[in-house]
Amino acid sequence: MRTLVSLFALVYTLLALSLASAWAAQEETAIAFAARVVGDDKRARLIVDFDKSVKYDAYLLADPRRIIIDLSQTAFSLTGEAKKLPTGLVRDLRYGTIGPGQSRIVLELARDVVIENHSLRNVAAENRHRLLLDLVTASAEKFASAVRKSAPKPTQSETSANPQKTQDKKTFTVVLDPGHGGIDGGAEGAGKTAEKTVTLNFAKHLQASLQNIDQLKVLMTREDDRFVSLSDRVDFAKKNHADLFISIHADSLRQRNIRGATVYTLSEEGTDDQSRALAQKQNRADLVAGLSLPKTQPKVTDILIDLTRRETQAFSVGIARLIVRQMKDRVRLLQNPHRSADFYVLKAPEFPSVLLELGYLSNVEDEKLMKSEEWQTKAANIIGDSIKMFFKPRLGNN
């Protein structure tokens, strides 16, 4: 692991540059189409390639140690995920939009560092603008003094808003979606427990676990025992400008010995037969209420939507992995607990979405656990913690 060569390398797929012409209309939006970190545990270099010049500002933050790079409006078409390499200087790399016309890259640091230099160059021969940022380990004193000197400049929204407004913190909206309801009871447990009751109880516990975070607003697609169609669930999240959507289920299988929780993200192909069958079953939930099936969206031809989708997908995978990591050893998980399939409720390109299967009601043990207040509280707190961790880097230095 201690080799000098790319201890930490993120290699992302390159979006065909021929698409650049499609962006002519989107003049202010730059595309970051490649990003990687190379180096070892003493030095590291971040390299990000853009299709056009961007404005940027890099600064250091302490507690936890981070480097923030604020960018003018940027769409990220980076796929793949940061590798966890604990011996490297950079533990993680995140990116995304933080406000109108503003984007951000966050590097999580394993040690005290200083930024040795940074630059943005037009590499005309390669048709790209390249941001380079070099880090080197430093003493705690040097790090602390660098943090003091590199205080962030006010962002656009802060300078344009009125003075009172600048005190406001950005609020993130989490939409919880308790599966089924009303006429649609969902799965039925070995001991007759209805899925719709388990999912609603769990959503309420989860909401309670996030109550004291004033920067998080938690909404639910239903708060009582009523039927909500699949498209209404997604539309509710869109209308409320969700920053995260979590659908909650507890289904059943013919194989009664199978148990444990699973976190699903969207994929057209699906990871396995079981996941594909589950998505198919859930996508037909509206039929129970006598509705027709929700229309599937037309194939994406708009490049902007496609890029948003990729960025959103990276966040969905990020929160799914976070949840699995948090649940591991504390809540019983299915084998390969992060799976994917073509779930209708996970298709919105606007916000990251995951679908949580708390366990299987067809399994007697799982059913008993999911019915118990104790388990509900414990599992909800774990998911709640994961949600807080997910939003933490985007809460900036507030």
Interface contacts to Zn ion, rule CB under 5 A: 179, 186, 249, 251
Residue 330 C-alpha from the chain's centroid: 22
The answer for 87, left when phi > 0, alpha when psi is -120 to 50, beta otherwise, is alpha
Strand partners, 354: 246
Angle, CA of 207, 346 and 328, to the nearest 5° = 60
Residue number with the shortest CB distance to Zn ion? 249
Nearer to Zn ion, 133 or 379 (CB): 379
Residue 241: alpha-carbon gap to chain centroid: 15
Q: How far is the CB of 295 from Zn ion (least distance, A)?
A: 21
Find the DSSP H helices in the chain. 140-149, 156-160, 195-209, 230-239, 273-283, 285-288, 303-327, 364-371, 373-391
Q: At what angle do helices 373-391 and 195-209 cross, to 10 degrees?
A: 50
Residue 291: CB minimum distance to Zn ion, A = 16
Question: Quick one: tokens of 357?
Answer: 């299967």
Structural tokens at position 255: 């194989």
Smallest separation, CB 314 to Zn ion (Å): 26
- Counting DSSP H helices and E strands in the chain, the numbers are 9, 15
Q: What's the closest the beta carbon of residue 249 comes to Zn ion, in angstroms?
A: 3
For residue 35, report the phi and psi dihedrals to the nearest 5 degrees: -155, 140
For residues 182 and 291, the answer to whether their CB atoms sit within 8 Å is no
Asked if 41 and 136 count as a contact pair (C-beta separation under 8 A), the reply is no
- Least distance CB 282 / Zn ion (angstroms): 6
Query: Quick one: 49 or 251, whose CB is closer to Zn ion?
Result: 251
Q: Minimum CB separation from Zn ion for residue 227, in Å?
A: 13
209 or 252: CB nearest Zn ion: 252
Closest to Zn ion by CB, 104 vs 249, is 249
Find where tokens 């940074």 sit. 118
Nearest Cα to Cα of residue 206 among 392, 376, 337, 322 = 376
Residue 91 or 249: the one with the smaller Cβ distance to Zn ion is 249
For residue 186, the minimal CB distance to Zn ion (Å) is: 4
- In this complex, which beta carbon is closest to Zn ion, that of residue 72 or of residue 283? 283
Smallest Cα–Cα separation from 51: which of 82, 69, 24?
Answer: 24
Report in angstroms how near the CB of residue 284 gets to Zn ion at its nearest.
11
Minimum CB separation of residue 250 from Zn ion in Å reads 7
Which residue lies nearer to Zn ion by CB, 88 or 179? 179
| Residue whose CB is less far from Zn ion, 109 or 356 | 356
Rank residues 179 and 270 by Cβ distance to Zn ion and give the closer one: 179
Paired residues of 61 in beta bridges: 66
* Burial call 79-88: b when 16+ CB within 10 Å, e when fewer: eeebbebeeb
CA 261-322-98 angle, 5° bins: 135
